[in-house]
Structure 1
Amino acid sequence: MDRHDGFREFVLARQQALMRNAYLLTGDAHLAEDLLQSVLIKVVGQWSKLSKGGNPEAYTRKALVNQYISWKRRPRPESPSADLPEHGTSHDGAALDRIVLRQALAKLTPKQRAVVVLRFWEDLTEAQTAEVLGCAVGTVKSQVHHALARLRMVAPELAHLLSDSEIEEVIR
């Protein structure tokens, strides 16, 4: 029996969800791929322990968040912007809201963005989010509060969408 038995099946089964999490954290498809790849390298190294009694899903999700936060702490060289200049084209309201919200999410701190992704995209409870992040439930509550306040400040045109229950619909 190979010590990596089941890893391939895990990745194939969870790849889309993990990639979606990575994208929501980074806001960039290429960075999301890099983030997920670096985390999966760590996961495969721990696979024999995880497959015997651990929770590979939770471990991988936590590793994504931790790696993302770690990346944000490192200074990075400037890179070209993917943002296009504004044009006079019309968008449907929901599409425009998603674009503005994604730009606003990029202005959150890494921990705030991680909390928003875990709470509203992954639909984790406050306790589950605290477990993934390795912090207290109170910290999750305050981070969500501060993140939503920051989103309302940087994107006031989305204030009507930024109640705890409505943000999930915009992100999707």
Structure 2
Amino acid sequence: MKPEPAEFAEFFTQWEPHVRRYLVWLEGDLALIDDATQETMISAHRYWLRVQKLENVRAWLFKVARQRLAKAQQLRKQQGVITDPHEMPGRKSATCEDVLSLREDQLAILSAVRKLPRQQAVAVALQLQHDLPLREIALIMGITVGSVKTHLHHARATLETLLSDVDGGAR
């Protein structure tokens, strides 16, 4: 059974911006963010009957979004296309500055988070952008709460170093 157009349109309007903001923390290439967001919402439409019954829609959406992003990144890598803005010669990093109008310090944090190992970046994005409790972060990531704490601890230490390098030790 397909969702009613108005019903899914309301769902899409509510959740698409959250999925997009989550992915911005993990990827600098706006085309990849768009692709992964679109694929996530297509999956929500495809599995609408299940999605409607979920206790935690956000957890499902973020988990699917992360999987779709990883798939898109892997495909680009196999095709030999550079997706990491830091690896692109002569190109300014795609920081989403124009799109999100973030202040300079927020851009520095965003850039630093993208340099973290993937699991750490995911945990930080879920905590900082969405203010999720550790239990929900664990559910989205498919790991234990203890592992989430470990990822966040290591991420904070790395971010402290990365951000102090940006500020010349001022943080």
TM-score by length of 1: 0.74
**TM superposition shift of 1:138:** 0.5
Secondary structure in structure 2 of the residue aligned to 1:135:
coil
Deviations 1:122-169 (A, max 9, x none): 0001111001111100010000011111212223246766xxxxxxxx
Structure 2 counterpart of 1:77: 81
**Is the counterpart of residue 102 in structure 1 residue 103 in structure 2?**
no
**Is the counterpart of residue 10 in structure 1 residue 11 in structure 2?**
yes
Q: Distance in 1 between matches of 2:157 and 2:74?
A: 23
Tell me if the contact between 1:27 and 1:102 (Cα under 8 Å) persists in the aligned partners: no
Tell me if the contact between 1:18 and 1:61 (Cα under 8 Å) persists in the aligned partners: yes
Q: Distance in 2 between matches of 1:50 and 1:26?
A: 25
Q: Distance in 2 between matches of 1:96 and 1:10?
A: 33
Tell me if the contact between 1:65 and 1:133 (Cα under 8 Å) persists in the aligned partners: no
**Percentage of identical aligned residues:** 24
**TM superposition shift of 1:3:** 2.1
Which residue identity is paired with 1:68? L
Tell me if the contact between 1:39 and 1:67 (Cα under 8 Å) persists in the aligned partners: yes
**Is the counterpart of residue 111 in structure 1 residue 111 in structure 2?**
no
Tell me if the contact between 1:108 and 1:147 (Cα under 8 Å) persists in the aligned partners: yes
Structure 2 residues without counterparts, runs of 5 or longer: 94-101
Mean CA deviation greater in 8-17 or 73-82: 73-82
Which residue identity is paired with 2:40? V
Which residue identity is paired with 1:110? R
TM-score by length of 2: 0.74
Which of 127, 142, 152 is 1:144 aligned to? 152
Tell me if the contact between 1:69 and 1:111 (Cα under 8 Å) persists in the aligned partners: no
How many residues end up aligned between the 2 structures?
151
Structure 1 counterpart of 2:45: 44
Structure 2 counterpart of 1:122: 130
Q: Distance in 2 between matches of 1:152 and 1:72?
A: 27
